[in-house]
Amino acid sequence: MRIIDKIYIDGQFITPHGTEIADLQNPSTEEKIGTVRLGDVEDAKAAIAAAKRAFPAFARTGKRERIAMLEHLSDAVAARNAELTEAMATEYGAPQYFTGFAVVHAASSFRHMAEVLKDYKFTRRIGRAEVTMQPIGVTAAITPWNSNYGFICAKLATAIAAGTTIVIKPSEMSAVQTQLLTECLHEADLPMGVFNIVNGRGDVVGAEFSRHPDIAKVTFTGSTAVGRQVLRAGAETLKRVTLELGGKGPNIILDDADLNRAIPTVLRVGLMNSGQACIAGTRVLVSEARKAEVIERLRVEIATFKPGMPSDPAVMIGPMVSQKQYERVQAYIRLGVDEGAELIAGGPGRPQGISHGWFSQPTIFANVTNDMRIAREEIFGPVLSVLSYQDEEEAIHIANDTSYGLQAYLHGTDMERMQKLASRLDCGRVVINGAPHEPLAPFGGMKQSGIGREFGSFGLDAFLEPKAVLT
């Protein structure tokens, strides 16, 4: 049993003022693995006050100092890779292919920001003006449970590069992972108050961070519904916001696609992170001409996406993070059946041979139309919808006919054609033929998938305010 009863303020692990205790569970077994003592509004205020005190000196640090801090942070996270991986498997249930990537990705986000910082021009001349990019002020980060390390590290890295101090509220469901990660970050020996991490409920600590007048900017990753609340709460003091929200990514198989290559990629990006990924390509679009062939291939090949325990290296689909999330996914699977979509793989209930844990079956619906709720709403589980199109125009129309706009996928053989189609998709990123992640390229959504961009120099810009001095 893990008892998490500390939060991190002013460079120290302290007992929170808040007294509420929440249970922590292993989603693969449904067993209680520990408890977390949650911070309250007083704790949120104390964290903000610490970050505010640290801000003036930190804002004056130079590039060299900040690069050194980023390198220390990266090393400190990488040094405890094995423990971080283990915690993520136990508390979140992520399969090994994902935990292996997640810790490396989290540690490398500091290195990537150090690289950006080396070349970043904080001072630029524009005519008579000298324009300086200055740190935006105390920032609040609010993060979800589906990649706890990655979101905390990416946001912290950007704050350090910009010279802003930060308060962080991770998901209350990730407290074991947060505790370990905080111990790593503490090892980097940053000045007191530069970063502060408070476990707590969203509607308590998250809400205080979103409305407190001393917070200049909120960087939020989570659901679109909560993103709206963060935006509203910040409006009173005109906070700058970066919102990374939900998605319903189109996963478009063009009629010239080589299915031997495309089908495994379509399934991989559709079911990534057990379907608990904002960037998952959950709407599979296929031409009428190839529909029968594609559906048959998907039906057969989804069987290679083995559900099960994170201890099994062959597992590709882990459990849903919580009972609530499991029930939500189950409700959507039942809804798909009720809406008249054709179930071609999976369905309600747990996968065969699994009697415990919040596992959902990898599920595919065919004959889905874009007005069905399973095609419009983010399910956040291993559930794919196959929709068909007559021609390229209709494919683009269906792809863009959504309130989301985060990440789209194209599969085909004619690169020039795919580049043209990519320019017509209303989303922040388009991935062609399963191309690997580019950590320095901007990441974020159009429409209700968010506001602003993270990563690379675009991400850094969003933690800075330009000031023009005219002479």
Q: Which residues bind ligand NAD (CB under 6 A)?
A: 142-146, 169, 171-172, 202-203, 206-207, 210, 221-223, 226, 229-230, 244-247, 278, 378, 380, 406, 445, 450
Question: Closest distance between ligand NAD and the C-beta of residue 408, in Å?
Answer: 14
Catalytic-residue membership of 244:
yes
Q: Which of 153, 184, 278, 427 is catalytic?
A: 278
Burial status of residue 258 (CB atoms within 10 A of its CB: 0-12, 13-18, 19 or more)? exposed
38 touches 172 (CB < 8 A): yes
Residue 392 to residues 270, 288, 387, 423, 424: CA-CA distances in angstroms?
21, 11, 13, 13, 11
**What is the number of the residue whose Cβ is closest to ligand NAD?**
202
Q: Which residues contact 447 (CB under 8 A, 6 or more apart)?
A: 402, 403, 404, 405, 426
Q: Which is nearer to ligand NAD, 34 or 450 (CB)?
A: 450
Q: Which of 424, 425, 421 is nearest to 256 (CA)?
A: 421
User: How far apart, in whole angstroms, are the C-alpha atoms of residue 241 and residue 129?
Assistant: 27
Given the complex with ligand NAD, which of 146 and 363 has the nearer CB atom? Answer: 146
**Residue 39 or 246 having the CB closest to ligand NAD:** 246
| R_g of the chain computed on alpha carbons | 22
Q: Which of 91, 172, 208, 244 is catalytic?
A: 244
Minimum CB distance to ligand NAD, residue 449 (Å): 6
Region of 318 on the Ramachandran plot (φ > 0 left; ψ -120 to 50 alpha; else beta):
beta
Minimum CB–partner distance for residue 402 and ligand NAD (Å) = 13
Residue 34 or 428: the one with the smaller Cβ distance to ligand NAD is: 428
Q: What are the φ and ψ backbone dihedral angles of 343, each rounded to 5 degrees?
A: -80, 115
In whole angstroms, the minimum distance from the beta carbon of 202 to ligand NAD comes to 2
Q: Give the pair of three-digit tokens for residue 34.
A: 């520990």
Does the CA dihedral 97-100-106-112 come out positive or negative?
negative
The residue assigned the tokens 């706009």 is 405
**Catalytic (active site) residue 184:** no
Length of the chain, in residues: 471
CB closer to ligand NAD, 124 vs 324: 324
What distance in Å separates the CA atoms of residue 197 and residue 308, rounded to the nearest whole number?
A: 32
Shortest approach of ligand NAD to residue 286 CB, angstroms? 24
d(CA 115, CA 30): 42
Shortest distance, position 348 Cβ to ligand NAD, whole Å: 22
Residue 64: how many CB atoms within 10 A of its CB? 10
**67 or 141, CB closer to ligand NAD?**
141
Paired strand residues for 7: 14
Which CB atom, from 139 or from 210, has the smaller least distance to ligand NAD? Answer: 210
User: Strands across the sheet with 21-26, in order?
Assistant: 2-4, 31-37, 21-26
Sequence-distant (6+) residues with CB within 8 A of 296 are none
CB of 404 to ligand NAD, least distance (A): 9
Instruction: Enumerate the active-site residues.
Output: 244, 278
